[in-house]
Amino acid sequence: MTSYVKWGFLTRFIEEAFEAYGIPEEDAKICTDVLLQSDKKGIESHGVNRFKPIYIDRIKDGIQNPVTTFEVVRETPTTAVVDGHDGMGQVIGYRSIKMAIEKAKTYGMGMVAVRNSTHYGIAGYYTDMAAEAGCIGISGTNARPSIAPTFSVQNKLGTNPLTVSFPTDEPFPFSLDCATSIIQRGRIELYEREGKETPAGTVIGHDGSAMTDSAAILRALQSGEAALAPLGGIGEELSGYKGYGYATIVEVLSAALQQGNFLSMLTGIGKDGEKVKFHLGHFFIAIDTEAFVGLEQFKQTTGDILRELRAAEKAPGVDRIYTAGEKEYLIWQERQKTGLPVNESVQKELIAIRDDAGLHDYRFPFED
Amino acid sequence: MTSYVKWGFLTRFIEEAFEAYGIPEEDAKICTDVLLQSDKKGIESHGVNRFKPIYIDRIKDGIQNPVTTFEVVRETPTTAVVDGHDGMGQVIGYRSIKMAIEKAKTYGMGMVAVRNSTHYGIAGYYTDMAAEAGCIGISGTNARPSIAPTFSVQNKLGTNPLTVSFPTDEPFPFSLDCATSIIQRGRIELYEREGKETPAGTVIGHDGSAMTDSAAILRALQSGEAALAPLGGIGEELSGYKGYGYATIVEVLSAALQQGNFLSMLTGIGKDGEKVKFHLGHFFIAIDTEAFVGLEQFKQTTGDILRELRAAEKAPGVDRIYTAGEKEYLIWQERQKTGLPVNESVQKELIAIRDDAGLHDYRFPFED
């Protein structure tokens, strides 16, 4: 049964657990905040359900370093190339966007390109940080091969989010944080946990057919026998080449500026089937609105645009039109009262980590 | 019957015709190059077919100024806000991306936000200029309301291209130049000229139904009785909210940094039904690859990514996998030998302009 866990308790537990696996206290706070920010926004695909498989297991497998060495390889007034040395992606991401914001505050714009990183969680965490600082934030990352190019059935590109946040005059930023595939692996993992099928047309099988069995898709994505369709779908009929193109842009920005790995180099599996480091790449751009007509004016115009969009004429039977970041804000309004709903599968993982890390002072509400 | 017109002849004619309507010689060369670049790439939706209706007619209607006043309203080392005073969008675009490139060459990055501009042609012209200069180029523009937000039937957002070019080690740049709708107005104009239906699912009628009659769609888009679906389609089933989100990002970047017009302000029609100035906004970003690991390395990694994508396993029955900019390059290889194929509808427009402008020395091959 789903159980609600209070945020304060969950935050302390995740922080202590990260520390138990060797992550320094300050870094553990960052990693926890990135992880829970996803749950707070209702993006379960990137939240606590990934704590064990994507972070703890990878540290234990030795393919991700708990202590992060953040090396600035090259730097100019507005740009930097960073080598993350396979540390914690969230820490690398946090420090990179901070750098980009500082450069933007001084010179108007800043961009940091990262190589040898690991899974950095939701891209929107970093772009929202930029928006909070009065900047436009843009970020993306490459990832395990998942998306097939238009007219191919082979998973080549990662789900490669192209993520943008803007400050606005509303209580939350505009924040579009989405994969350049129609759906992404985390969403399919969630379908699989919930025992649901994956919508037809979003995944292409090796024979060109559409796949819908979520567990089979996850296995097939891993083995290369299935691939995600890019935004716009399979083939060119509904302009799938555009989503394919945007995924390619993210792949290039995540590898070519930093001389990092890309495409089939990012499987995480070595030639003898062993787990190997991912060596992911990310990019972070901050643009200071004060370098143009100013923050207050930017916020108001952006807010005016968003309000006009929401006030557009609705399709028959529709209650409400949203703008990006709004649903996530509404979910947080609800969840800050209720705590996080945790399903049974994740409950087992949290108990396993608690026991493995020896954090015996923690007793979860779902154990009562 | 379609007739082929040689590039040299066509270039001289378009230049002289632009000049005949009051555009200074240097500017006329720019406008001509932008216009014909579209035809050279096979993007007929933005080429000579738009010479009369989108440029010459608007100058004659007094809603676009043939002489361009390029006013830099605000400037920092990396950024600028430009007021185009309703001059020629191509000239404003050309000068803006040049500015962004110069800033990038000096400081690593550059961005120019423009207000009070007019239709600037293909966005890829400007991003390709950046790629040619060794920079990453990014550009976008707002436009007449066309796209409905997800769950709306009202045309609110322009087709808002989000366009990116990269230098590569191949004979042509990576160049993704596409609307954030599934298809765009120029494409529907082309379907209408060719007497073809528009694919179902790409246009939503006022009652929520899919429309396919191209001529009816163009009328309905103008009157607000139809709207384009964003990339990803109608509703959320195949993630239409992502295309809607990207269209919103382009709208914000085209208006909020420069305090320009947006959404329903951009109809080009006044309150008494009269034609009025569009006051469009654009943005131009240049990022110097030399500020990271260097141009040659960037080109090679990008080329390697593109070659691996093209070499992916093909879907059954497919001959070839492309990357963005490749089809356009291949079309130019063919067309530089044949000249431009001009259909009868455009032939009539070219003759009308020739006669109206008094350019009696020009006799088109299709008049023989």
Mutation site, B72, B146, B231, interface A, largest A CB count within 10 A = B231
Dihedral pair phi/psi, residue B240, rounded to 5°: -60, -25
Instruction: Check whether A186 has a pLDDT greater than 80.
Output: no
Give the contacts of B68 (CB within 8 A, at least 6 positions apart): B27, B84, B85, B87, B88, B91, B92
Instruction: Check whether A200 has a pLDDT greater than 90.
Output: no
User: pLDDT 10s per residue in chain B (368 long)?
Assistant: 999 999 999 999 999 999 999 999 999 999 999 999 999 999 877 899 999 999 999 999 999 999 999 999 999 999 999 999 999 999 999 999 999 999 999 999 999 999 999 999 999 999 999 999 999 999 999 999 999 999 999 999 999 999 999 999 999 999 999 999 999 887 888 889 889 999 888 999 999 888 999 999 999 988 889 999 999 999 988 999 999 999 999 999 999 999 999 999 999 999 999 999 999 999 999 999 999 999 999 999 999 999 999 999 999 999 999 999 999 999 999 999 999 999 998 999 999 999 999 999 999 999 98
**Chain B residues whose beta carbon lies within 8 Å of the beta carbon of residue A152:** 309, 312-315, 318, 321
Q: For position B271, what pLDDT does the model report?
A: 92
**Chain A residues whose beta carbon lies within 8 Å of the beta carbon of residue B321:** 149-152
Instruction: Check whether A224 has a pLDDT greater than 90.
Output: no
The shortest C-alpha distance from B93 to chain A (Å) reads 18
Contact by Cβ (8 Å): B145, B267: yes
Q: For position A141, what pLDDT does the model report?
A: 98
Sort residue B43 into left (φ over 0), alpha (ψ -120 to 50) or beta: beta
Complex ipTM: 0.97
Contact B152 A321 (CB under 8 A): yes
Contact A291 B321 (CB under 8 A): no
Instruction: Check whether A40 has a pLDDT greater than 90.
Output: yes
Q: Among residues of chain A, what percentage have pLDDT more than 70?
A: 100
Taking 3-state DSSP, the helix, strand and coil percentages for chain B, each rounded to the nearest 5, stand at: 45, 15, 40
Task: List the structure tokens of B87.
Answer: 């001059």
Residue with the two structure tokens 């709903």 = A341
β-pairing verdict for A3-5 and A226-228: unpaired
Contact by Cβ (8 Å): B221, B228: yes
Contact by Cβ (8 Å): A287, B332: no
Q: Is A312 on the interface with B (CB under 8 A)?
A: yes
Is residue B300 helix, strand or coil? helix
Instruction: Check whether A83 has a pLDDT greater than 80.
Output: yes
SS3 assignment for chain A: CCEEECHHHHHHHHHHHHHHCCCCHHHHHHHHHHHHHHHHCCCHHHCHHHHHHHHHHHHHCCCCCCCCCCEEEEECCCEEEEECCCCCHHHHHHHHHHHHHHHHHHHCEEEEEEEEECCCCCHHHHHHHHHHCCEEEEEEECCCCCECCCCECCCCECCCCEEEEECCCCCCCEEECCCCECCCHHHHHHHHHCCCCCCCCCEEECCCCECCCHHHHHHHHHHCCEEECECCCCCCCCCHHHHHHHHHHHHHHCCCCCCCCCHHHHCCECCCCCECCCCEEEEEEEEEHHHCCCHHHHHHHHHHHHHHHHCCCECCCCCCCCCCCHHHHHHHHHHHHHCEEECHHHHHHHHHHHHHHCCCCCCCHHHC
Mutation site, B246, B250, B288, B323, interface A, largest A CB count within 10 A = B246
Q: For position B43, what pLDDT does the model report?
A: 87
Considering Cα of B198, then B150, then A156, then A286, what sign does the dihedral take? positive
Alpha-carbon distance B33 to B46, whole Å? 12
Q: Is B269 on the interface with A (CB under 8 A)?
A: no
Cα–Cα nearest to B183, from B231, B216, B144, B218: B231
β-pairing verdict for B3-5 and B340-342: antiparallel
**CA A53 to centroid of chain Cα atoms:** 15
Q: pLDDT band at residue A79, thresholds of 50, 70 and 90?
A: very high
Give me the domains of chain A, ranges plus CATH numbers. 3-295+326-367 (3.30.1370.60)
> Across the beta sheet with A280-288, what order do the strands follow?
A71-75, A79-83, A109-117, A280-288, A135-141, A162-166, A174-176
Alpha-carbon distance B170 to B34, whole Å? 22
Q: Is A311 on the interface with B (CB under 8 A)?
A: no
Instruction: Check whether A314 has a pLDDT greater than 80.
Output: yes
Pick B78's closest partner by Cβ from A107, A263, A310: A107
Range 178-217 of A in CB contact (< 8 A) with B: 178, 182-183, 199, 201-202, 204, 207-208
Considering Cα of B321, then B327, then B333, then B334, what sign does the dihedral take? positive
Q: Quick one: closest CA in A to B234, which residue?
A: A315
Lowest mean pLDDT among A301-315, A325-339, B10-24, B200-214: B200-214
Q: For position A222, what pLDDT does the model report?
A: 81
- pTM equals 0.97
